Amino acid sequence: MAPAIHQVLATLGYGDAIGHEVLGIQRVLRGAGYESQIFVQTAEPRVEHLTLHYSDLQDASHPDNILIHHFSIGSRASRLAYALPDRMVLIYHNITPPEFFVDVNKELVKLCFRGRRELALYRSRCDLALGDSEYNRQELDALGFAPTGVLKVVPGFDHLMKAASLTAGGFDDDWVNVLFVGRVIPNKKFEDLIRAFHAYKTCFNPRSRLLLVGSHAGFERYVAMLHGLIAHLDARDVHLVGHVSNEELTAYYEIADIFVSASEHEGFCVPLIESFHMGVPVLAYAATAVPATMDGAGILYTNKDPMHLAALINAVIEDPGLAERVIDGQDAALARLESQDFAGTLLRHIDSVLSSPRREHPPVAFDFWDQVEQAEAFDELKQRRPAAFQALPPEPGTRSWKPETGN
């Protein structure tokens, strides 16, 4: 009887790169005859029905099974997976260095720091460590994981196939639309993009606008900083659009004249490939996984001087022949990516694990399962009786509040 091959991850999102890969892996595994479920700590409501809660994984666990563990941040689901007897394939989706979030999101600083620290513990736990890009595989190598490999992200575009009958906020006119798509978070370096666009609009083309499409939930402080920069520069026609529907996203790509990224940390960067698919020429800062994702296509730059980037934008906009050559190169890179044998690569990795000797399971704390039970009890208390949860004594080593006393 074939072993079951389940997946576990902290959060399953809708339409993002990790979510697309998780669902694609499940389709391949089930098509190959394996039992395969997706266990998560949380899930976006639109895909929640496709998942089981991570606490149910203990009942599905078996030493002969393989657990595909998607690691993108530390979580309880991650720690439960560590303790179970199943063989493990780790897929690393990268963790943004915590220093990007200092003074912007304290909780994310903590989660990213702990996640990067926690990742190293899996060197002795997993039978195979895969990056979803060559850049991520190299990070695993540098941390001492072995063996390593790549299961490359092959994004789907179904979400961009819907009729774009919307006018994308009334921006479909004869102005030049400079587009960036991505969550409004500090590692994306929106401030550098705003400075470069301001230089382009001031020195090259006053009939232009910058469209920044992406959610900023949880990063209101960073958004306030960006608005402060826009006011300080007196930069006109910069639009922080926020979260949009798939239909609206399609519309924004369709009206875009150029896609520009200033991001300094990416594990893959799906919007680059979405731009390829939508025929939008791409300018991107050559950092982390971006050069590998673009695969020789688009235009990479390394000089973030605002005037330099403004001149590059102008060169692409003003020369239709150059823009066409860029798009042709992107079409070729997209064809190479889509020709990847995702199913075959995945199943070869699974076969390599099944045919290799089992690694000895690293030790787990003697009271681990007691701690799991206690954490679940605290979670339930927090949800059902939040006042009682707040009244719990402080953790050992933390400062407790004491009332001030008068003199």
What's the pLDDT band for 198 if we cut at 50, 70, 90?
Answer: very high
Q: pLDDT by residue (tens digit) across 131-174?
A: 999 999 999 999 999 999 999 888 888 888 776 555 566 898 99
pLDDT at 137: 95
Out of 121-130, 271-280, 361-370, least confident range: 361-370
pLDDT at 365 over 80: no
Compute the distance between CA of residue 57 and CA of residue 52 in angstroms, rounded to an integer: 8
H helix runs in 216-319, sequence order: 220-233, 246-255, 270-278, 290-294, 306-318
Nearest CA among 364, 361, 365 for reference residue 127: 361
H helix runs in 262-341, sequence order: 270-278, 290-294, 306-318, 320-338
Amino acid at 4: A
Compute the distance between CA of residue 268 and CA of residue 134 in angstroms, rounded to an integer: 9
Q: In what order do the strands lie in the sheet with 176-181?
A: 238-242, 208-213, 176-181, 258-261, 282-285, 299-301
Classified by CATH at the fold level, domain 5-154+341-370 comes out as: Rossmann fold (3.40.50)
- Take residue 110 and report the two structure tokens written for it: 């903590």
| CATH code for the structural domain at 165-338 | 3.40.50.2000
pLDDT at 369: 58
What's the pLDDT band for 16 if we cut at 50, 70, 90?
Answer: confident
Tally of CA atoms within 13 A in the half-sphere of 282 that contains its CB: 36
Helix (H, G, I), strand (E, B) or coil at 7: strand
Q: pLDDT by residue (tens digit) across 250-268?
A: 999 999 999 999 999 998 9
Compute the distance between CA of residue 178 and CA of residue 252 in angstroms, rounded to an integer: 10
**Domains 5-154+341-370 and 165-338 agree in fold:** yes
Where do the domains of the chain lie? 5-154+341-370, 165-338
Compute the distance between CA of residue 113 and CA of residue 105 in angstroms, rounded to an integer: 12
pLDDT at 28 over 90: yes
pLDDT at 403: 47
Q: pLDDT by residue (tens digit) across 207-232?
A: 999 999 999 888 999 999 999 999 99
What's the pLDDT band for 19 if we cut at 50, 70, 90?
Answer: confident
